[in-house]
Every structure is written in structure tokens, then in C-alpha cells.
């Protein structure tokens, strides 16, 4: 299995790694002209043969396409929490195939974290880029700029699920499975039935009652991950793993 890289530039049948990505391949992995890797760019994966190596730029000639599986696009809406654990959650969410991550400033988000979040976005995108290459993704997830809850409530998705500690009747696995079965009966055109999914994970201390009502009024379905109280980053991993397993 060839190692995969995410192209920084693609122009026709040529792709390029630049900057730190090129330096890593050239100096750390000791790449040579003529070597072949899988190169992901513009929604495709193709075999790329190295044609030119420079200190900060490597050129590939792109050849045949590499097959990739269709996946259901999942957006993770996650309230901002302590940055070290938030960054771990971004890395694991990327490995689990999330398409988009939307950091949210919720009512219980720490004010200092909310203020500092905008300066961390580029770092979060770098983390997602590195995790995408490691997990052999076609492209990294989109990391949105932090938003307030009202912007999240205006977003559209085929299935919107809110992970809530207050929910004690509906389990996440049941909500996803029932939605999949219903969509398949109606003939959605997707192999899994569900067109898209949005998962909401709250801050430390959970969503407020007002926030829970706002979610319900805009079509979100509350679901539980079980009887124990999970840390936010654990909830992210569990929710994405359960959702992905049912929709594969």
C-alpha cells in the first residue's frame, strides 16, 4: 500500500507538495525522483510519480485513479472546550472521517476560550491536515471559524442529532438506524439511505435548557450515548464511531 499525501496544488496532470509538506517528504522520508505515492486532490486520489524535488516544492506527474468508497457527509458541531482536549478531538474526528467541524461558542463555553478560539483555527486546520494524511483521507475536513449558536441553528442537514445528557429515552444508535431504514424505504439515492448527518456535542456542563429548546424547535433530535457522563472529546469519538458504523 502506497503512502498517501494531500496535494497543496493540482494543475491538470501535475500535483505539488510545498513548504513543510515538501520538506518532510524530501528530507525526512528521503524521497527520490521516480518514486510513486498516492496523491489526493480535488476530490480524487491518483498515483503520482515524483518528477522534480526541490527543498520547498515537489512535483508529481499524476496517473491512474485510485478507487475510494462513497461516504455519508457528517458535520460535527462541537462547543469549544479546553484546547488540548479540543485538538485531540479534532484529530480523532478527522481519523473517523468527519467532513466538517464547526466550533461553537455556547452559553457555557468559557469566556477566555471563546475569545482565544479565533487565533487557534489555523492550528486546528494543520492538525486536521496531518491526521488526514495519516488516515489516508481524500481531503481534510473543513474547519469552520467559531460561530455562535444562532448560526448553527440555521444550518441544514438531512439528519440533525443533538447529544444531550438530559435525553434518557432515545439512544444515538437507534436514531441513526431508524433514520437509515426510513430513508432507504423512501429511496434517497444514497447507498446508506441518509444523505447527510449533523452531530451536536455540547460544552463542559452540557447545553442549557434554552439551548435545548432552540435545537428542538429547529429540527434537531436529541439522543443519548448511554447512562454514563462522558467528557466532550470522548463523546465526539463515540458519536462518530457509532454513526459511521451504522451508515457504512
A 10 A CB-CB count for 136 gives 16
Number of CB atoms found within 10 A of residue 77's CB: 28
Q: What is the per-residue pLDDT for 145? A: 97
Q: What is the DSSP letter of 24?
A: I
Domain end: 36, 65, 94, which one? Answer: 65
Cα–Cα distance for residue pair 175/167, rounded to 1 Å: 12
Number of domains in the chain: 2
Q: Are 180 and 93 within one domain?
A: yes
pTM reported for the whole predicted model: 0.84
User: What's the confidence (pLDDT) of residue 193?
Assistant: 59
State the pLDDT at residue 191.
Answer: 46
Domain boundary among the residues 65, 90, 108 is at 65
Cβ partners under 8 Å of residue 194, min gap 6? 72, 158, 159, 176, 179, 180, 183, 188, 247
Same domain, 133 and 232: yes
pLDDT of 247 reads 85
CB 57 within 8 A of CB 25: no
SS3 state of residue 101? strand
The CATH number covering residue 80 comes to: 3.40.1280.10
Give the C-alpha separation, 221 to 20, whole Å: 43
Regarding whether 227 and 118 lie in a shared domain, the answer is yes
**Which of 44, 65, 86 is the last residue before a domain boundary?**
65
CATH classification of the domain holding 41:
2.40.240.20
pLDDT on residue 189: 47
**Domain residue limits at 53:** 4-65
Do residues 52 and 98 both lie within one domain?
Answer: no
**pLDDT at res. 68:** 74
Whether residue 243 is found in the same domain as residue 217? yes
Does residue 115 share a domain with residue 238? yes
pLDDT average per 10 residues of sequence, the chain (248 residues): 90 94 89 94 91 93 86 93 97 96 96 95 96 91 96 91 91 92 67 79 92 95 93 96 90
Q: Say whether both 126 and 213 belong to one domain.
A: yes
Amino acid at each position: 500500500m502506497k503512502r498517501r499525501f494531500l496535494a497543496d496544488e493540482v494543475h491538470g496532470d501535475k500535483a505539488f507538495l510545498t513548504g513543510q509538506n515538501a520538506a518532510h517528504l524530501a528530507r525526512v522520508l528521503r524521497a527520490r525522483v521516480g518514486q510513486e505515492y498516492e496523491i489526493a486532490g480535488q476530490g480524487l486520489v491518483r498515483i503520482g510519480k515524483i518528477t522534480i524535488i526541490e527543498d520547498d516544492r515537489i512535483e508529481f506527474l499524476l496517473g491512474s485513479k485510485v478507487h475510494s468508497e462513497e461516504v455519508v457527509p457528517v458535520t460535527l458541531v462541537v462547543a469549544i472546550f479546553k484546547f488540548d482536549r479540543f485538538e485531540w478531538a479534532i484529530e480523532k474526528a478527522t481519523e473517523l472521517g468527519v467532513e466538517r467541524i464547526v466550533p461553537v461558542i455556547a452559553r457555557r463555553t468559557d469566556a477566555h476560550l471563546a475569545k482565544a478560539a479565533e487565533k487557534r483555527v489555523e492550528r486546528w486546520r494543520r492538525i486536521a491536515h496531518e491526521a488526514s494524511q495519516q488516515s489516508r483521507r481524500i481531503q481534510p475536513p473543513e474547519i469552520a471559524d467559531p460561530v455562535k449558536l444562532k448560526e448553527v441553528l440555521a444550518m441544514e442537514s438531512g439528519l440533525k442529532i443533538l447529544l444531550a445528557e438530559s435525553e434518557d429515552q432515545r439512544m444515538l444508535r437507534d436514531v441513526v438506524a431508524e433514520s437509515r431504514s426510513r430513508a432507504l424505504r423512501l429511496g434517497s439515492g444514497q447507498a446508506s439511505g441518509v444523505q447527510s448527518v449533523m452531530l451536536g456535542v455540547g460544552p463542559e456542563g452540557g447545553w442549557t435548557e434554552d439551548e435545548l429548546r432552540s435545537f428542538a424547535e429547529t429540527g434537531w433530535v436529541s439522543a443519548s450515548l448511554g447512562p454514563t457522563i462522558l467528557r466532550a472529546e470522548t463523546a465526539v469519538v463515540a458519536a462518530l464511531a457509532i454513526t459511521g458504523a451504522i451508515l457504512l
